[in-house]
Chain A
C-alpha cells in the first residue's frame, strides 16, 4: 500500500510527466488556452492513460512476453492505445456531446500523446505489476491534468498581459512552462527512487 502511495506521489509531483520528464508537451501547449477545455482534456487523458496503461500491461504480460515478441512492443502498444482512444471517443460522444465538441480534434490526438506511450513503455522498463501499472498510469495522468489546468489558468492571464511582440503566443507560453518546471524542481529528492 505504501509503495502505491509512493508511486502516486512520485508520478504526480516528483517525476511529473510534463514538467520533469517533458512528455506530452503538444497537448500541454495546444489545449491550454482556456481553463474549461484544459480540465476536459485532463479528464479524457486521465481516463485514457489509466485504461491504456492497464491494457498495455496485459498485452505485454500475456501476449508479447510468452510469445517472445518483445520487438513488437512499440507497435503493439500504439495499436492498444489507438483502440482505447477510439473507445473513449465513442463514450464521450454518447455521454457528453458538449465535451465532445469542445475537445474536437484533441481527443483523437491523445493517440499521439507521447505521455501515453511513455507511460506504457516505462511500465515495462520499471517492471511494474498490474496494480502498479494502473496506479502509475493514473498518477501520470493526474499530474498531467494538474499542471495542464494550472497552466491554462496562467495562460488566460498572460493573454491579456503586455508581452513584447516578439514573445507573444507560443514563445511566452514556453517560457512559462520552463518557469513552472523550475518550480517543480523543488520536489526533487522528495522520494528516492
Chain B
C-alpha cells in the first residue's frame, strides 16, 4: 500500500459551513442566469423576496430563542434555502407565495428542530410542497420560455414587479394569454388525451431533447453541479444515484413502448431533475450519510420522481421524492452502517 507523505507546512483546507454554502450559491449562478434569460425578471424577483424572507425569519427566530443572530446568519444557509425555494417557483407567482413558503421552510421545517444540522427534512422542499398543496393555482403560473415566438410576451422589469406585487397586468393582456404549461405538464395532459409521444413532440414546447428553455436551464445546473463535484463540496453518490435511477426506470418504460413514455433524456433534462440532483438532494443534513446509503437515497428519489411524473397527480415529483427519501434517510443510515475497521461482520 502507498502512504503518500507530504512535507510541511500542513495547511488544512479552509472548510466550514459558510464556505460550502458560498460555493453552492456560486455554482447556482449559471442556472440562475439561464433561468432569468428564459423566464424573465420574475426569477430574480422571486429570489430576492424568498432570500430576504428566509434571512429575516431566521434572524427573528434566533432572536426569540436568545441565540447569537449575527454568527448564525453568517453561515448563509438561510440564504441558500431561500434561493433554492425561489428557483422552484413559477416566475410570475404573487409576492406572498415566496414569503409564505420561506416562512414555513425556515420557521417550521428548520428552526423548530433547532436550526441547521438538525432538520430531518429539506427546508426548501418543505416550503415548496406546502405551496404546491395549498396554492395549486398560483404555482401553475409558468410563462413560455424565450424562444417560443408564437406565444411569447415580454414583460419588462416594472411590468413584472407590477404583476407580482399588485397583480396588475399590462393593458389588453390576460393571465391566460401569458401562461403556458411546462413541458412535463403538457406531456402528462397529452398522454391523458391519448396522444402518442410523436404527436406531443411536434408541439412548439419541445426543443432538441427536452422542453425549449428547460433543457438549457437543466444543462446549466448540471455545469454548476459538476463544479461542486470538482470542488469536492458534494460527493458523487447522490447525484449519480438520482440521475441513474431516473434514467434506468425511464429507459425500461421507454424501451417497452416508445410511443407511450417520454425518452430517458427528456426526463433527465426536464423539470427540477438537475437542480434536484446536484443542489437539493445533496443537502448534507437531511440526506443519508453513508456512501451506500447515499446511492440508495438518490436512486429512491429518481424512481419516486418518475412514478409521480408518469402516474401521479403532480407534473414533477422531485420535491416529493426528496421529502419521502428524507423520511427514509435515518432508516437507510441505520441499515447501511459501514463495517467498523478491523472488525468482521
Contact = CB atoms under 8 A, between A and B. Distances in A.
B334 to A, nearest CB: 6
Interface residues of B, number: 35
Nearest to A167: B112
B320 interface: yes
B307 A190 contact: yes
A172 to B, nearest CB: 6
B109 A179 contact: yes
A157 B324 contact: no
A188 B314 CA distance: 8
Interface in B77-122: 108-109, 111-115, 118, 120-121
A176 B65 contact: no
Contact of A154 (B314, B321, B330): B330
Contacts, number: 90
B189 to A, nearest CB: 13
Interface string A157-181: 1100111100100001001100110
Interface residues of A, number: 27
Contacts of A180: 327
B98 to A, nearest CB: 18
Nearest to A147: B327
Given A185-B320, A186-B320, A164 B112 contact: yes
Interface in A125-169: 149-150, 153-154, 156-158, 161-164, 167
B13 interface: no
Nearest to A156: B330
Interface of A: 35, 149-150, 153-154, 156-158, 161-164, 167, 172, 175-176, 179-180, 182-190
18 contacts: A156-B330, A158-B113, A161-B113, A162-B113, A162-B118, A163-B113, A164-B65, A172-B113, A175-B112, A176-B120, A179-B121, A184-B324, A186-B308, A186-B321, A186-B323, A188-B313, A188-B314, A190-B307
